[in-house]
Each structure stands twice: as structure tokens, then as C-alpha cells.
Structure 1
Amino acid sequence: MRAALAAVVALTVAGVSGCGDDTAAPAPGGGTDRVTGTVTVFAAASLTESFTRLGERFEAAHPGTTVTVNFAGSSALANQINQGAPADVFAAAAPKNMATVTDAGNGDGSPTTFARNRLVIAVPKGNPQRIAALADLARPGVKVAVCAEQVPCGAAARKALDAAQVDLTPVTLEQDVRGALAKLRLGEVDAALVYRTDARAAAGDVDGVEFPESAGAVNDYPIVVLADAPNPAGARAFVALVLSAQGRTVLTDAGFQAP
């Protein structure tokens, strides 16, 4: 009797223990990841307004989380990630800069293009120099700010200028689109080649002049969860928000084109 009772007790304990394990360890991919803590996003400077808004929405949807975004030129961000900077998500302004990260094995899965952007000529409100085309930027005395060619806005500018056969000597080469726009807003230049989204965000100070060559220099924006993300659940949830209908609305409101 004593041996039988011991066997029953042993089986009961084993059964309880097994049930506890099933509850505590859901199957991978079962959608039970809980989003907590800080989500660190490295994002192209041209995403400042959009990702700031999306970060606020993410925090509202996940109480107790914090979204920290490092905005800079995509090439600089890619180098920081490859040098070991801790981040959960990378959103670049061009596939080339994303490839710098994924080719080094630092992306978790394949990047997804979530938006597109094109250039405009940003000028002071009222367009005092009467700039109407890329060729006007090469007029004597017109000072222009352009992004450096290693960053996406600079590569797009070079492609558009070549298509228009305009030989332009800018007075400054900036490391991101925000730097080029800042030169204009400070009155240091007469015009700047920036993204449509940046000109729209600064509409109180600048006008955006469209030009046809920009259609051949559209930049795709890819996003990816990073392989060594400190907060992988948060990273996946943030990327899901960017790719959602809500994310699409925020981006198109800012002037981005759908992919």
C-alpha cells in the first residue's frame, strides 16, 4: 500500500510540474511575446517627424515601453550598427545602406521596403531667387546646399543633376538632409536639394519646388529587425506598426509615397 501511494504521489507531482512547464514556455512564434522596455531604432534623418509620431503611438499602445530613435544619415547609422552599436531596428533611406548592414550578417531576416521619397528644391518662403528648375541652381551667385554623395539624399541629387545635365558646384556638402535644410533655414544658402517630406515639414519657412528629374531618383526606404536586437519582441512590434495601415497613414501624411 505504501509503495502504491508513493507511486500515485510521484505521478501527481510529475503531472503538475508538466502543466506548469507548458504554461511558462509557449511555443516559439506563438504570438505570446510581451512588449516591454526600451525599443531602440536607428532611422534615416528624413524620418524624424514620421518616426517620432509612430514612436508616440507605439508607447501609447504598449504602456511602459519607451521608443528611443537615433536619427542620422543612413550611411553613418549603418557603420555604427556594424561597429556594434546596440539597436533593435534599422530604417534606411536607401537599399545600399541597408545592404551594408545585412551583408555583414546584422539583419534578422530580409528587409521590407515601407516607403519611397523623392527630392524637391527647397527655397526660402516666396522663392526670392525665382528658382524653377535644376538649371537655375547653376546660375552665377546662387548658393546651394546638397547632401554628400555617400548618403542617400546626395546620391539621389547626383542622379537627378546628371539626368538634367546640370553642372552644379554646391557651397556645402552635408552629411544628412537635415543639415542641408538647416543651411537654407539659417539663410546661408539660396536653395537646398532635400526630400519632399523635409520641405513639407518645414513648410512654415520654405517652399518646395518640384522638378521632373526627381522621378528618376526616387529612394526606397527599407526596414529590418537587427540580429543582435536587445529587445527583439519590441523590435518586431515596432516594425509591424510601421508596416501597418496606421503606419502607412502617418508616412503618407508626411509626404512619403507608398512602396
Structure 2
Amino acid sequence: MTTRSARRTRRTTRTLQAAGVGAAVLLTLSACSSSDTSDADKAKTSASASSSPKLSGTVTVFAAASLKESFTALGQQFEKAHPGTKVSFSFGGSDSLAASITGGAPADVFAAASPKTMAIVTDKGDAATTPETFVRNQLEIATLPGNPDKISSLKDLTKSGLKVVLCDKTVPCGAAAQKALDASDLKLTPVSYEQDVKSALTKVELKEADAAVVYKTDVKAAGDKVEGVEFPESADAINDYPIALLKDAPNTAAAKAFIDLVRSPEGQNVLTQAGFLKPAS
């Protein structure tokens, strides 16, 4: 009896020992699996971080004068979303900006007020990407507050004694105005041709001119300093605005991110609120 009892005791002990070893193996395998999963997750996180590097430095954007208010707002959004970055703008007539770029001026992004002025850059091979239209803009007549000269049409601008300002014909807003005038068989001799749309508008704001043909966005940005008068011929002279990354961009990564913001729903919302039209579908 004693011998059988001892054997049972030894068998029970061996069974418990085996169970203990099995549990230990399972715990070890579980720990290894957990460690492997954790390492894999870390690797994925690291890879993701390396594929989306933190943006920094200055993004230099050359943009048409009519984009000043909306692009300034987008620049502030960009800097807030990417701490450590700065967006530096140079606003002006698209033709002069294009000439500066082809002349070697350092810039990351060019946003022009017409495909024709963008072509100055692309024809020289100074664009790194194919330009894409991101908004359109339509002309409007800006008059003195209250419209004291009772201007109601493009033809009214040809009245004798009326001081009218136009953008230079080489500037997109001037080319569009001339297209509208030609389509209406109207001849207009302005008191001055301005190098960009903001300069033309300023002449009216300072009461140095009675009216100017500018963009709807500029009339809207001026608030109560001027009054806007729409004219049907403007529908045949709408300008497409293309944007492109430049070939020798000093800050390519941030420049691409800024272009993405401009073309994003958030960017388009800022631009349409400023009076721009969405690209033609």
C-alpha cells in the first residue's frame, strides 16, 4: 500500500512539473509575440514619421496682386498648422513676377492670374510641375462710393470727362479688360495704365480716378472704399489662375504642402469667400 501511494505521489509531482514547464513556455511565447507586435508597431510609426517629415523653413510664394488678401490668410493658416515654417509673399503683376522668376529670383511657388503669364515661366523650363488652375476671377467696374457718375455699363466708361484707370495690357486684368472692350467694339483711353490690379484700384480709393476695371475680388476686399458695378461682357473675359511648384525651389517639401493647402477644400473655401470662382469642371 505504501509503495503504490509513493508511486501515485511521484506521478502527480511529474504531472505538475510538466504543467508548470508548459505554462512557462506559453508565457515566454506570449511575451515574445507581444514584444514582436510592439516592435512592429514602433517600426510602422517610425516609417510613417519618416515618410511625413516635419516641415520647417521659409516658403517663398510669388503671387498675383489680386490674391493678396486670400493668400495672406492661407499663409497664416499654414504657419499655424506647421510650427517652424514661414510663408513669405511677393505680390504684384503676374508678368513682372514671371520675369523675376525667369531672371533667377529665388522662389518656391508661382500663382499667376492667367495661363499666358504662367507660360512665361513654363516656356523657360522654370516650373517643376505642370501648372493647375485653382481658381478663376471675373472683372467688375470699381467706382467712387455711391457711384456719383451713375456708371451702369462698360459703355458708360467711354463718357467724355470721365477719368478711368485700366491695368496695363500686359497684365492679366488689363488683357481681360481689353478683351471685353474689343468684344463690345468700345474704344477707351484711360488716364493711366497701372502695373497691377491693386494699383488701379488704389487710384479710385484715393479719388484720383472716377472708375477702374478690376476684379470682383478686389472690389470686395476694398469694402466701402469703392462701389462695384457688374457688366455682362465680363463673362467672356474670365481669367484662370494657375499655380505651380518652381524648378529650383529652395524649400520643395513645404512648397508642395502650401500648394496642397491652396487646392484643398479649406483653401478653396477661403478663396471663394474672397469672391473667386471655382475652376471650371
Tell me the equivalent position of 2:7. none
2:252 is the counterpart of 1:232: yes
Matched, 1:49 2:69: yes
Counterpart contact for 1:145–1:170, Cα < 8 Å: yes
Deviations 1:75-128 (A, max 9, x none): 000000000000000000000111110111110120110000010000011100
Unaligned runs of 5+ in 1: 1-21
Aligned to 2:224, the other structure's residue is in SS state: coil
1:34/1:233 contact within 8 Å kept? no
Choose 1 or 2 for highest CA Rg.
Answer: 2
Contact 1:74 1:92 in 2 (8 A): yes
* Alignment partners' CA distance in 2, 1:34 and 1:112: 26
CA distance in structure 1 between the partners assigned to 2:52 and 2:119 by the alignment: 31
Give the gaps of 5 or more residues in structure 2.
1-42
- Counterpart check, 1:116 vs 2:130: no
- Which of 165, 176, 181 is 1:145 aligned to? 165
- CA–CA distance in structure 1, aligned partners of residues 96 and 246 of structure 2: 16
Spell out the pairing of 1:83-102 with structure 2 (5 A cutoff). Answer: 83-102=103-122
- Deviations 1:131-170 (Å, cap 9, x if unpaired)? 0001100101100000000010000000001112111000
Q: Distance in 2 between matches of 1:42 and 1:162?
A: 30
Range 32-41 or range 145-154, more displaced = 32-41
1:203 and 2:223 are equivalent in the alignment: yes
Distance 2:223 2:230 in 1: 14
Q: Distance in 2 between matches of 1:135 and 1:103?
A: 37
Per-residue CA distance 1:174-224 (angstroms, 9 max, x = gap) = 000001001111111100000000000002211110000000000000000
Instruction: Give the counterpart letter for 1:54 in structure 2.
Output: L
With structure 1 as the length reference, what TM-score do the two structures score?
Answer: 0.88
CA distance in structure 2 between the aligned counterparts of 1:249 and 1:148, rounded to whole angstroms: 30
Residue 89 (structure 2) aligns with: 69
Partners of 1:93 and 1:50 in 2: how far apart?
Answer: 14
RMSD of aligned residue pairs (Cα, Å): 1.6
Instruction: Provide the residue aligned with 1:18 in structure 2.
Output: none
Q: Deviation per CA, 1:6-49, whole angstroms, max 9, x where unpaired?
A: xxxxxxxxxxxxxxxx99xx79xx84243100000000000000
Q: What letter is aligned with 1:101?
A: V
Matched residue type, 2:145: K
Equivalent in the alignment of 1:251: 271
Number of equivalenced pairs: 235
Q: TM-score, normalised by structure 2?
A: 0.81
Higher helix share: 2
Provide the rounded CA distance (Å) in 2 between the counterparts of 1:31 and 1:162. 53
Q: Is the 8 A contact 1:115 1:220 kept in 2?
A: yes
Q: Which residue pairs with 2:155 in the alignment?
A: 135
